[in-house]
Amino acid sequence: MHKDLSISEETNVNRAAGVVGFFTFLSRILGLVRDMVLAFFFGTGMAADAFFVAFRIPNLLRRLFAEGSLTIAFIPVFTEYLTTRSKKEAFELARVVLTLLSLILVIITIIGVLLSPWIVRIQAFGFGGSGIKYDLTVLLTRITFPYIFFVSLVAFFMGVLNSLRRFAAPAAAPIFLNVGIIGAAYLVSPGLPDPIVGVAVGVLIGGFLQVGLQLPWVFKEGLKLFPLWKPAHPAVKRIGLLMLPAIFGSAVYQLNQFTGTLLASFLAEGSVSWLYYADRLVQFPLGIFAIAISTAVLPSLSTQAAKKDLDRFGETLSHALRLVFFIILPSMVGLVVLGEPIIRVLLERGAFNNYSTLMTNYALVFYAVGLWAFSGIRVMVSGFYALQDTKTPVTVAVVSVVANIALSLSLAFMTPLKHGGLALALSLASSLQFCLLVFFLNKKIYIGDLRPVLVSALKSAFAAAVMGLVVYYSHTWWLKVDSGAGLWGMIMSLTGLIVIGMIVYFAMARILGCRELASVGEMFFRNSSPQRRKER
């Protein structure tokens, strides 16, 4: 009986991860289209600079408060109420949090709009305190700042719906931000004296659409949005105490990014850009798979933690780690082997020349070797959050930042690695962070025998290595991605190599008896039965 329940929970996690991964993939593709549209209409001129600076502040607040800390702090407490109390009490808590959150967001939005001139002076000091560029940036900041209100509401609804095992609408929400911006660039901007203002309006349209998408699902679950003013509600304080370390943890991540950019600015011209583009490529599999799995597993872990069912908690965490490594390890090998052709197909045109491709790929290789750690961290942190412990991940993150700075200085400036050393430093520091998270979680609660995770990862790594060799020699002798073949020729060759890699990897996984192969099937095919895993 216990094993059946565990299989059922694994199936839920697999299917939820598939839903989140699918919509995240669509969002990333549309994000690429959005960037292409903005580049087409506005290039890299004054208007584009002004918009990117203006949108950076609400985007930073989104990362610090909305999509990160709010959801992380809310889901475990809300899930505990759903599990140990009643749905009515849980929904009452949700209304209390929504009322207080809305009031805080209105105040933050008003302050942000009023202080926009000073915000721009701090954020873009080089723009000066007057002039056309400065005035345009202030205007765009005032237009886009209310986006923090909308996206925070989306994050709140995501917490509610994910806790109720409804993942589609929250995962699809980012798509509508891209739709709003792209639509406004084509439909609103042409009729305005300053076309870039239309793009800023598109940010608000996208935020409004994101909220609107959640409402039918929220109403269907029975949550009423009438205000309920109970700031002394005992759960509100708990959520606030969980949010503070989570906010600090998000700030630590931003500090890591800032440190890398700062150190890269002392290296050869182009280092910042090479690292940026390499990071964007690494973020693609990380966002689609690792974040999807960690998002899907958090409600399950929170439910098991609320029930004090630590055996199943350990089983679910082990399953999530095995699944994320099964998907990420071949992605890691694929980026190492096919990084250069991928960059050539996606980016090598105009001012982005062959040298840019080689230098970006150099950074990509060093980033890619840490992809397993970046992904594993996401899952391990979900385990701590489910236990309502946000302090330990922050402490470990601080250690990781210190290690990253020390390694960056050593590898980038005391060795010939240069910007590749900065990428390698982050990979090594993240590996340390993952190992520390495993150590401290196992010390906090015994999470079971982790040997199955290691055995599974070794099988996945061997299958990925075979895949890498086959793809490498296929690229060398047969399907060479050469710029002389033209863009479509390169796309066809690259697609063929990726298909070959997938076939080889899944074939090897089947030969090695990897259980996660069935889990991947459940991620994307609803009628995939868990019976095969039961029989193993």
Q: Of the given ranges (207-211, 247-251, 413-417), which has the lowest mean pLDDT? A: 247-251
Which has more pLDDT, 433 or 483? 433
Token pair in block for residue 169: 């609408």
- Element holding 142 (H helix, E strand): helix 132-144
Whole-number Å distance between alpha carbons of 344 and 31: 19
Residue 130: which pLDDT band, with cuts at 50, 70 and 90? low
Whole-number Å distance between alpha carbons of 153 and 215: 10
Residue 535: which pLDDT band, with cuts at 50, 70 and 90? very low
Which has more pLDDT, 447 or 179? 179
Number of neighbouring beta carbons within 10 Å of residue 439: 11
User: What pTM value is reported for the model?
Assistant: 0.76
Whole-number Å distance between alpha carbons of 118 and 103: 23
- 33 φ/ψ angles, rounded to the nearest 5 degrees: -60, -40
Residue 536: which pLDDT band, with cuts at 50, 70 and 90? very low
Number of neighbouring beta carbons within 10 Å of residue 506: 16
Highest mean pLDDT: which range of 56-70, 163-177, 461-475, 515-529: 461-475
- Where would I find the beta strands (DSSP E) of 380-477? none
User: How many CA atoms lie within 13 Å of 334's alpha carbon, on the beta-carbon side?
Assistant: 22
356 contacts 347 by C-beta, under 8 angstroms: yes
pLDDT at 197 exceeding the cut of 80: yes
User: How many CA atoms lie within 13 Å of 93's alpha carbon, on the beta-carbon side?
Assistant: 24
Q: In whole numbers, what is the pLDDT of the chain averaged over residues?
A: 84
Give the pLDDT confidence score for residue 503 in this predicted structure: 96
Give the pLDDT confidence score for residue 128 in this predicted structure: 65
pLDDT (average), residues 41-67? 71
Nearest to 163 by CA among 297, 287, 289: 297
Token pair in block for residue 55: 């949108």
Q: Which residue's structure tokens are 């290691």?
A: 454
Residue 254: which pLDDT band, with cuts at 50, 70 and 90? low
Q: Of the given ranges (169-173, 185-189, 247-251), which has the lowest mean pLDDT? A: 247-251
Q: Got the DSSP string for 33-56?
A: HHHHHHHHHHTTSHHHHHHHHHHH
pLDDT at 368 exceeding the cut of 90: yes
Give the pLDDT confidence score for residue 271 in this predicted structure: 80
The 3-state DSSP class for residue 403 equals helix
225 contacts 98 by C-beta, under 8 angstroms: yes
pLDDT at 522 exceeding the cut of 60: yes
pLDDT at 26 exceeding the cut of 50: yes
25 contacts 288 by C-beta, under 8 angstroms: yes
Q: Of the given ranges (63-72, 374-383, 438-447), which has the lowest mean pLDDT? A: 63-72
Residue ranges per structural domain of the chain = 30-231
What percentage of the chain reaches a pLDDT higher than 90?
Answer: 34
Residue 206: which pLDDT band, with cuts at 50, 70 and 90? very high
Q: Got the DSSP string for 444-505?
A: HS-----HHHHHHHHHHHHHHHHHHHHHHHHHHHT----GGGHHHHHHHHHHHHHHHHHHHH
